[in-house]
Structure 1
């Protein structure tokens, strides 16, 4: 099992460099195809400006978005051309309210989407919708890499956030190529339920399933000593020198499914290692 179709979405060059390096490194070791979707974002809001100004404003923002797309596309092509991996790239312009449709379409036909973290300094407004569209609408797993991350191809230690949820199990199944290569997968269970079929062996059945895939596992049962689960997982990742965190992504909204839940958002704001997410 390997990832053969890899996608990254770029709307600028500085913060996307780590994700671009990651997709190249993974394409090389897994003999995969790397694809870069380079988008210029039209952030104008039709009808917002005074009468008579709309046409001028829209033309200006569209020209700016086209120039941005061309610059990002040129940068991506230059890096990919020198990499030696199989690659393709495409550029285009999308309105910020419609960017999810373009991303979801490409993500749907990708094994893994690699993106920069959507939170932090100097992030544009489209960073979070791109992540959400890839996961919730494109139904693809996403690997989010920190800005200063070195490309990760074969993690030594992978931390798995396990709470018996369908989202967590889906993330684990999608992350199997990484888990099978890792020297150790640490299944982290925080405050397991006191009642239920797994109360005496939390994480045991998951460990058994992964072992049949050749994954070496250990189970870490932790107390909820901090108010947020994400804080505990991040601290444990630091303590165990984990190279990657695998967890389910959660959507919480009555109006739109694609809103990252609080636990997911907190994790992405703080994690210092790549985070593998699926929903």
Structure 2
């Protein structure tokens, strides 16, 4: 299994650097085609406008979104050209309202093996960045590689990968969809945090997954950790730092997205804290 069709999206000309560089590096490594989409987002909330001003405000917001899409497209094109002639790529731009963004992203993501995006939380990040990430995973049914601002160009070969395992469907989907990365890694640590005392894997946490991965040629081992910090994400961050991992693989949004948004969760907390690339699938 190899990734042959990659996708990256940007909603601002100021946020294309890490994701574009990472996607281009992976495309060259896997001999894949890279598609890039520049998105201009109309963030108008018409319900809060004054009577009679709706049409004017809508047109102004649309003009701003179109200008933003043009500037983002120009920045993406310049970055793609700078990657050199050996990179195969395509570029499109689109304008949409925030409420229709999911449909636009999903339509592209469904036909990609992997979506590469910038970190959706932090300074200068808008609500559209999180919406793009969720749309790619949920409606687009694609795995997503999230790269932090300080990420260098990626080659597809990670030295040490931490794979978060909790026996959930989401974690299993992530493990299977990350196989191109896992098989190329020098070492993969299946990390189980506070396994259930009465669960189906109580006698051998992570054992069946390790067996499955080893049969695919993955150099896998299992680490069972106690929850010594307040949040699961804190333990994962510590594990990645202590073991010098350069990629984290995890299932995303085990709870409902509404509960994650209101209360937080391992997915959101991990993305906020992560200083290494994070591979997620749902």
The interval holding the TM-score normalised by the smaller chain is over 0.9
SS in 1 for 2:237: helix
Aligned pairs, number: 279
Confirm or deny: 8 A CA contact 2:8 2:116 kept in the other structure. Answer: yes
Confirm or deny: 8 A CA contact 1:252 1:259 kept in the other structure. Answer: no
* Alpha-carbon spacing, 1:208–1:260, altered in 2? closer, same or farther (3 Å): farther
Gaps of 5+ in 2: none
Tell me the equivalent position of 1:108: 110
How far apart in 2 are the matches of 1:260 and 1:62?
33
2:74 pairs with 1:74: yes
SS in 2 for 1:189: strand
Tell me the equivalent position of 2:185: 182
Following superposition of structure 1 onto structure 2, how do residues 60-209 of structure 1 map, counting pairs within 5 Å? Answer: 60-83=60-83, 84=85, 85-153=87-155, 154-209=157-212
Gaps of 5+ in 1: none
Tell me the equivalent position of 1:49: 49
The TM-score, its normalising length taken from structure 2, stands at 0.95
Farther off after superposition, 145-154 or 18-27: 145-154
* Alpha-carbon spacing, 1:40–1:274, altered in 2? closer, same or farther (3 Å): same
How far apart in 1 are the matches of 2:80 and 2:257?
41
2:282 pairs with 1:276: no
Q: Quote how far apart the aligned CAs of 1:64 are.
A: 0.9
Q: Quote how far apart the aligned CAs of 1:58 are.
A: 1.1
Confirm or deny: 8 A CA contact 2:170 2:254 kept in the other structure. Answer: no
* Alpha-carbon spacing, 1:69–1:275, altered in 2? closer, same or farther (3 Å): same
CA RMSD of aligned residues (A): 1.8
Residues 241-272 of structure 1: CA distance to partner in whole angstroms, max 9, x if unpaired? Answer: 00000000015348799999611000000011
Confirm or deny: 8 A CA contact 1:253 1:259 kept in the other structure. Answer: no
Residues 133-181 of structure 1: CA distance to partner in whole angstroms, max 9, x if unpaired? Answer: 0001111000000011112221000000001101000000000000011
SS in 2 for 1:137: coil
